[in-house]
Amino acid sequence: MAMSSRSCSLLRLPRELRDMIYRYALSHYDGLFYHRVEDYKANFYSSEDAFYEFNQLKYACRQLYHETAGKELIRNDLIFVSRPDRKGKYLERPTGVQFLGFLDMCHEVWRQRIRRVWLRNYCKIEQDRGENPRDLHIIIDYCKIHPRTTVFWELSQINWLNCPAILISEGLHWETAFRGTELSSKCAKYKVAWIGGSQMVYTSLWRCWKSMGPRRGGREIEDINVPNFRFMPWGRDQFDEKKFRQSIDTQEPTLEDEIKKAWLELVREWYTVGM
C-alpha cells in the first residue's frame, strides 16, 4: 500500500531515527569540501579529492533528501580550497572568490544556516593580492550581517613549522595590518623584530584602496573589528604544542623562560580561536 507523503515526513520520525540520520548521513567530522564544476551547480564532498556528493540520502529516500537539503550547512564546517594543482574553471579561483560565488547561488534562508567557513589557500597570499581586498571587504560585510556565521581565513605564510620567532613576528604584523593593534610595544613585549616588508605587504592587502582617492571618497579603511571573522595560522589540525615548545628551546636557547612561555601562550591562542 502506498504511503502518503505526509506520513513519511522526517519530522514525524522518532527522535532517535532523526538523530541517527543527522549524525551518520549529514555530519562529517572533517568538514565538507566545496566543489563546483558547472556554472550554477555546486556540491559539498567529504574530502578534497572525492568524486561524489556527501549527502547520499537521495539514493535511499528522495523525500528525505529533499527534506534535509541544506541541513548539512548547519552541522558541518564548510571548507573552500585553492591549490595550484586543483584544475577547473571554478576550482582554480582564490577561496574568497569561491565562497562569494557559493553565496551568490544561495537563497538567504540557506545563508542563514551556515555556521563555520574555512578559506584555505595553498598559494602565497601575495600572488592574488590584487583580488583579495575587494573580496575580503564583501566577506567582512557578510559576517556583519550574519553574526551566527564564523569565517576563518587560514594563512599559509604564518605556520607553526616556521622559525618560532618568525611566526610570532609575522602574526603580530598581520594583526596590526588588519585589526589595527599597536605593533612596536608588542614586538618589544615578545622580543621579536619589526619587519617593514611584511608590514607593507599585509597592510596593502586590506588598506590598498586608500590610494584610489576619489573612488573611495577619501575615506579611511576601518580596522576589522568583526568577532566572527578570524585569521587562523596554517596547520591547525597538525599543530603540536610539545614540538613547538621544543623548537623554541632549540632555536632560541638564550631566550628568557618568561618570554618562551608568552610565545607559547600566544600561539596556543591563535591556533584555538584565531587572530
Q: What is the pLDDT along the chain (275 residues), one digit of tens a residue?
A: 344 445 556 667 787 877 787 777 778 888 889 888 777 777 888 887 777 777 777 777 777 777 777 788 888 999 998 877 776 677 778 888 899 999 999 889 989 999 999 998 876 554 444 456 678 888 999 999 999 999 999 888 788 887 888 889 888 888 888 887 888 888 888 888 777 656 666 766 666 544 444 344 444 567 788 899 999 988 888 888 899 899 999 999 999 999 999 999 999 999 999 98
Domain limits, the chain: 1-123
pLDDT digits (tens, 9 = 90+) for 229-250: 999 988 888 888 899 899 999 9
Query: CA of 181: how far to CAs of 173, 174, 186, 188, 190, in Å?
Result: 9, 9, 9, 14, 14
CA dihedral sign of residues 12, 13, 19, 20: negative
Q: What is the pLDDT of residue 11?
A: 63
Q: What is the pLDDT of residue 206?
A: 66
Separation CA 61–CA 91 (nearest Å): 30
Separation CA 182–CA 172 (nearest Å): 9
Q: What is the pLDDT of residue 216?
A: 43
Q: What is the pLDDT of residue 198?
A: 64
Q: Cell triple for residue 165?
A: 620567532
CB atoms within 10 A of CB 4: 7
pTM over 0.75: yes
H/E stretch holding 116 reads strand 116-121
Angle, helices 95-105/132-145, rounded to nearest 10 degrees: 50
